[in-house]
Amino acid sequence: MLFLVFALLPVLASLIMSVTDMRATDLRTPLSVNFVGLDNFTRLFSDDLFLRSALNTLVFVVVGVPLTIVAALAAANGLNSGLIRFRAVFRVGFYLPVVTSIVAIAVIWRFLLDPEAGLVDNLLALVGIDGPNWLGDTRTSLASIIVMAAWRNFGSLMVIFLAALQGIPNDLYEAATLDGAGRWAQFRRITLPLMRPALLFGAVITGIGYLQLFEEPLVMTQGGPLSSTLSVSYHIYNQFGFGNYGYAAAASYVLFVAIVALSVLQFRLLGSRDD
């Protein structure tokens, strides 16, 4: 019943709304709305603001997902190598941002990147560098949010990758060493192929989450400056707030199709292979 009331019915209701001209003023008389077919979807792709938000989200995913995976893989390899002492402490430290409220983290990063009193610019000033306005400059605002998101999320992937690394038999590495394979050859020929299921899981989960980017720009930049950090989810949120329910529902289904398409692409690239 909970799934029916709070998941299935809203999904079906939003699908119906996406093909109507429903607005906030129609809530009292929802049956009086007009059927507009695909007009809302046509408006979306002629809306410069939506296209800008789609481009921002695409950049966030294309840059953020590989960055998060690489950081998680590097941390997992370091913890698995046995060269780092107090590994339990590092595991907790890396994973702590994952279980911390995203709103709290976004507020802290906003203060860290503040151009006047922020720690980052003050440290740069000590070495004679005039730091930029990280969140107030269109050239650095989206990059700042990407770095913050990668820092916050790589801990969860690190735990998954560490478990996958510990499941690889040491005999394979010993045999490769006897055959003259170096560290890089072992990583490329043994570690990565045997970690493919974990890499696929991490890429899909991270990609789905990053396509729904919302809290970070909401708290840190409010979509600015000049819509340089406006995401599709934030744009949908704004349109619902403006009362454009049909238009916002159509944008939601475009985002849903994008999530499905990205997941299918990742399964094609990282899925099981005969070799």
Per cent of the chain over pLDDT 90 is 71
Q: What is the pLDDT of residue 84?
A: 63
Predicted confidence band of residue 93 (pLDDT cuts 50, 70, 90): confident
**Rounded-to-integer distance, Cα 155 and Cα 159, Å:** 7
Decide if 16 is inside a domain. no
**35 in a domain, yes or no?**
no
pLDDT at 157: 94
pLDDT of residue 230: 96
Whether the pTM exceeds 0.95: the reply is no
The pLDDT value given to residue 25:
82
Q: For residue 40, is it within any domain? A: no
> Is pLDDT of 113 > 60?
yes
Could you tell me if 53 and 232 are in contact, meaning their C-beta atoms sit under 8 angstroms apart?
Answer: yes
Residue 175 near residue 230 (C-beta atoms within 8 A): no
Residue 91 tokens, joined = 């595991």
Report yes or no on 6 lying in a domain. Answer: no
Residue 210 has a pLDDT of 96
How high is the pLDDT of residue 24? Answer: 86
Contact 272, 252 (CB under 8 A): no
* Nearest residue to 254 (alpha-carbon basis) of 229, 228, 236: 236
The pLDDT score that the predictor gives to residue 274 is 53
The residue segments making up the domain with residue 201 are 45-270
- pLDDT at residue 82 in the model: 67
Sign of the four-CA dihedral 209, 223, 143, 98: negative
- 75-85 pLDDT, tens digit per residue, is 998 888 766 66
Whether 77 maps to a domain, the answer reads: yes
Residue 156 confidence class, pLDDT cut points 50, 70, 90: very high
Residue 31 located in a structural domain: no
pLDDT digits (tens, 9 = 90+) for 1-21: 999 999 899 999 899 999 999
What is the reported pLDDT for 27? Answer: 78
Check whether 28 has a pLDDT greater than 70.
yes
| Distance between CA atoms of residues 104 and 156, nearest Å | 18
Residue 273, pLDDT above cutoff 90 = no
Mean pLDDT of 228-237: 96
Strands (DSSP E) found in 103-259 = none
Residue 68, pLDDT > 80, answer yes
Nearest to 144 by CA among 188, 194, 109: 109
Cβ atoms < 10 Å from Cβ of 202: 26
- Any idea what the CATH number is for the domain that residue 191 is in? 1.10.3720.10
Contact of 61 with 210, CB cutoff 8 Å: yes
| Total count of domains within the chain | 1
In tens, the pLDDT along 130-142 reads: 889 999 999 999 9
Q: Is residue 1 part of a domain?
A: no
Is pLDDT above 70 for 126?
yes
pLDDT tens string 169-195 = 989 989 999 988 888 899 999 999 999
What letter would DSSP give residue 24? G
CB atoms within 10 A of CB 119: 12
Please report which confidence band the pLDDT of residue 205 belongs to, taking 50, 70 and 90 as the band edges.
Answer: very high
Q: Percentage of residues in the chain with pLDDT exceeding 70?
A: 97
d(CA 33, CA 21): 6
Ramachandran region, residue 67 (left: φ > 0; alpha: ψ -120 to 50; beta: rest)? alpha
